[in-house]
């Protein structure tokens, strides 16, 4: 929680700014859409956090989003599979990818960066080849299935705001992952493994298995996220769908307090990290800045944010130290 304070502060600052200067920022529909996008990206970011906890990294998230996302309409529309077969197939394929990464990393001891970088190229390549670089979409069909991402729920007593359906899986995942790391034995083992692998091994912890499972989890979430993404946008091109999503996911996780050295996680932080990125992007349009500036603004604001966060942290810890000294 303490680790998340920084990103929550950054988020609030941007939110307040956007409310003041953005047109129609505080409208139900905008908040709804922000919630939707945050939920989608949060699912990827939670996945990224799973492997970051182990001290690893997954650069293939964007490509798995692409492959899983593209495969869904490809099977449904081109091959006319039933949704009941497609969803499990896509999820199993994503989990298989994670398993493959995990085994290469834990058994063959290859560097996670390298393995998942190859993955980044490989899965996108497969998606492009499989579809012959053709856009894949639902052609207006399977509206019911797509409700998983496009559905909206009324909240009793609240007007002008409908809750996007994606919030439900995102919230469940967040809670499960949060509980997993703070309350379960395995979560604790993973935290220990992430920071000091040999200490964990000496304590009899099956580190290889746990790390492998983390990669499975990450790819599974990426695949699940990819499915929801394409349900949401209804069609995608294999060559650009999901490009750079791994960076957004990792950025959200790191902003949210996961150290890339491993062993740290804050689920609340990760979600606020994802939300911050989305609010920033929307703010740029609603405030009326040119979209050419989007990248520059996001980069500058994040950099300022983390630098300020670090500055404040240092200032506080110095104050704390001094007051502790005064007490003695």
Partner 1 sequence: QDGTAKLVAAQKARIEAYKAKPEAKPHVAFVSNGVADFWTIAKAGAIAAGKQLGCDVTVEFPGGGLGDQKRMLEDLVIKGIDGISVSPIDPANQVEVMNLVAEKSILITNDSDAPKAPRLCYIGMDNYEAGLMCGKLAREGTKNGAGGGKVAIFIGRLEQDNAKRRRQGFIDGLLGRTPDPTRYDEPATVINEAGYTIVGTWTDSFDRAKAKANIEDVLIKHPDLALMTGLFEYNSTLAVEVLRQTGKIGKVQLAAFDEGADVIAGIKEGFVLGTVVQDPYGYGFESVRVLLAFTKGDMSMVPENGVINIPAKVIKKDNAEAFWKDLKAKIKAGKDAK
Partner 2 sequence: MMSRPMQPERSDQRPVVLSVRGVGRRYAGVVALAGVDLEIRGGEVLAIVGENGAGKSTLLKILSGVVQPSEGSVAVADASGALRELALDGVREATDAGIALVHQELNLAENLDVAGAIYLGREPSRFGFLDRARMRAESARWLARVGLDLDPGTLCGTLRIAQRQLVEIAKALSTESRILILDEPTSSLTTRETERLLEIMDELRRAGVAVVFVSHHLDEVMKIADRVVVLRDGRKTGELARGEYDRAAIERLMVGRDIARAERRAVAADAATRLEVHGLVTTHRRRVPASLAVRAGEIVGLAGLVGAGRTELLEAIAGLGASSGIVRLDGRALPAGASARVRAGVALVPEDRARNGLFLEDSVATNMSLAWIDRSSRARLVDARGERGMVERMVGRMQLRPAQPSRRVQTLSGGNQQKSVIGRWLAIHPAVLLLDEPTRGVDVGARAEIHAEVRRLAEQGSAVVFASSELEEVLMLADRILVMYEGVIAGELSAHEATEIAIMQLATGGGTPRAHPPTAQP
Torsion over CA: 197, 198, 199, 203 (sign): positive
Q: Which of residues 32-61 bind partner 1 (CB under 8 A)?
A: 33, 37, 40
Tell me whether residue 20 or residue 285 sits nearer to partner 1 (CB atom).
Answer: 285
Is 325 near partner 2 (CB under 8 A)? yes
Is 320 near partner 2 (CB under 8 A)? yes
Identify which of 187, 250, 271, 259 has the alpha carbon closest to the alpha carbon of residue 59: 250
Q: Which of residues 192-251 bind partner 2 (CB under 8 A)?
A: 192-196, 198-206
Neighbours of 66 (CB within 10 A): 30
Q: Which of residues 253-282 bind partner 2 (CB under 8 A)?
A: 263-264
Going from the C-alpha of 15 to that of each of 176, 217, 252, 283, 293, the distances in angstroms are 27, 31, 16, 8, 19
Query: Binding partner of residue 298 among partner 2, partner 1, a copy of itself, none, CB under 5 to 8 Å per kind?
Result: a copy of itself
Helix (H) or strand (E) holding 104, with range, is helix 83-106
Identify which of 43, 39, 40, 56 has the alpha carbon closest to the alpha carbon of residue 215: 56
Q: How far apart are CA 27 and CA 129, in angstroms?
A: 42
Query: Binding partner of residue 122 among partner 2, partner 1, a copy of itself, none, CB under 5 to 8 Å per kind?
Result: a copy of itself
Measured in whole angstroms, the distance separating CA 230 from the mean position of its chain's CA atoms is 15
Q: What is the x/- site pattern for partner 1, positions 125-164, by CB under 8 A?
A: ---x---xxxx-xxxx---------x--------------
Computed on alpha carbons and rounded to an integer, the radius of gyration of the chain in Å comes to 21
Is 324 near partner 2 (CB under 8 A)? yes
Angle in degrees, 0-180, between the axes of helices 61-73 and 245-255, rounded to the nearest 10: 130
- Determine phi and psi for 163, rounding to 5 degrees: -85, 120
Is 291 near partner 1 (CB under 8 A)? yes
CB of 311 vs partner 2, minimal distance in Å: 17
Instruction: Quickly list DSSP for 70-88.
Output: HHHHIIIIIS---HHHHHH
Q: Which of residues 10-39 bind partner 2 (CB under 8 A)?
A: none
CB of 161 vs a copy of itself, minimal distance in Å: 30
Q: How far apart are CA 47 and CA 215, in angstroms?
A: 8
Query: Binding partner of residue 325 among partner 2, a copy of itself, partner 1, none, CB under 5 to 8 Å per kind?
Result: partner 2
Core vs surface per residue 72-84: b (16+ CB within 10 A) or e: bbbbbbeeeeeee
Choices 9-17, 94-102, 166-174, 239-247 (CB under 8 A): range interacting with partner 1 = 239-247
Choices 104-112, 283-291, 299-307, 320-328 (CB under 8 A): range interacting with partner 1 = 283-291
Choices 96-104, 105-113, 177-185, 238-246 (CB under 8 A): range interacting with partner 1 = 238-246
Using CB under 8 A as the criterion, which residues of the chain lie in contact with partner 1 when the complex forms?
A: 23-24, 27, 29-30, 33, 37, 40, 128, 132-135, 137-140, 150, 229, 232-241, 243-244, 281-282, 285-286, 288, 290-292, 294
Using CB under 8 A as the criterion, which residues of the chain lie in contact with partner 2 when the complex forms?
A: 183-186, 188-189, 191-196, 198-206, 263-264, 317, 320-321, 324-325, 328
């Amino acid at each position: 929680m303490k680790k998340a304070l920084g990103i929550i502060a950054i988020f609030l600052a941007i939110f307040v700014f956007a409310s003041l200067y953005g047109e129609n920022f505080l409208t139900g529909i905008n908040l709804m859409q922000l919630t939707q996008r945050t939920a989608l990206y949060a699912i990827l970011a939670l996945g990224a956090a799973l492997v970051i906890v182990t001290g690893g990294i997954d650069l293939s998230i964007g490509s798995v989003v692409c492959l899983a996302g593209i495969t869904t309409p490809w099977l449904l529309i081109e091959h006319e599979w039933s949704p009941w077969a497609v969803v499990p197939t896509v999820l199993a394929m994503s989990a298989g990818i994670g398993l493959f990464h995990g085994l290469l990393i834990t058994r063959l001891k290859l560097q996670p960066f390298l393995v998942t970088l190859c993955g980044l190229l490989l899965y996108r390549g497969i998606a492009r080849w499989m579809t012959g670089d053709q856009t894949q979409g639902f052609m207006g069909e399977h509206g019911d299935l797509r409700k998983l991402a496009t559905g909206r729920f009324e909240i009793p007593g609240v007007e002008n705001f409908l809750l996007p359906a994606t919030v439900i899986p995102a919230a469940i995942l967040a809670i499960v992952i949060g509980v997993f790391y703070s309350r379960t034995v395995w979560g604790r083992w993973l935290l220990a493994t992430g920071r000091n692998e040999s200490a964990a091994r000496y304590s009899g912890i099956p580190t290889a298995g746990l790390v492998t499972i983390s990669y499975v989890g990450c790819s599974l979430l990426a695949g699940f996220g990819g499915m929801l993404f394409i349900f949401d946008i209804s069609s995608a091109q294999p060559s650009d769908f999901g490009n750079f999503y791994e960076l957004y996911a990792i950025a959200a996780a790191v902003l949210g307090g996961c150290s890339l050295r491993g062993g740290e996680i804050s689920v609340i932080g990760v979600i606020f990290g994802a939300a911050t990125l989305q609010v920033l992007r929307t703010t740029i349009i609603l405030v009326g800045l040119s979209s050419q500036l989007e990248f520059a603004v996001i980069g500058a604001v994040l950099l300022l944010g983390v630098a300020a966060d670090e500055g404040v942290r240092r200032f506080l810890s110095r104050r704390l130290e001094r007051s502790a000294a005064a007490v003695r």
